[in-house]
Amino acid sequence: MAMPIKSLVNQPTALSQSRQGASSSEVNRLLSAALVSRRFCHLLLTDPAAALAAGYNGEHFDLTPEERARILAIQAKSLQDFAAQLLDLVAEQAADEIAGPDLVYSHSGMAARIGRRPWLG
């Protein structure tokens, strides 16, 4: 018998603390479903669009269009790798929201602030 994923998401995680709102709980629900169901996890890793469309245990995930696009862009062979890539993407989104347009990412995902440099006049 499958456990409802709503009951699994009762403690804040690093992922939910990195963003505000109900949307982060939906991402947590998605990851929780993958943790408790090997079948759903396999589907998420091999065909994320089908996993999002199917939902889990009769429940669907209410993701923003940005979250959906990010999830569909992930290519991972394990749930650990999937979660790490998702966390990186969420961290980038949070940094964008906080810093605005003067934040630029290097290829390694590290953020560097650029903008007006007073010494350049």
**pLDDT above 90 (res 119):** no
pLDDT in tens, 3-62: 555 544 444 444 444 444 446 788 899 999 999 999 999 999 999 999 999 999 999 999
* Other beta carbons less than 10 A from residue 82's beta carbon: 21
Is the Cα dihedral 26, 37, 53, 81 positive or negative? positive
Q: Tell me if 70 sits within 8 A of 94, measured CB to CB.
A: no
Mean pLDDT within 76-99: 83
Domain housing 77: 5-120
Q: Return mean pLDDT, the chain.
A: 75
Number of structural domains (the chain) is: 1
Radius of gyration of the chain (CA): 17
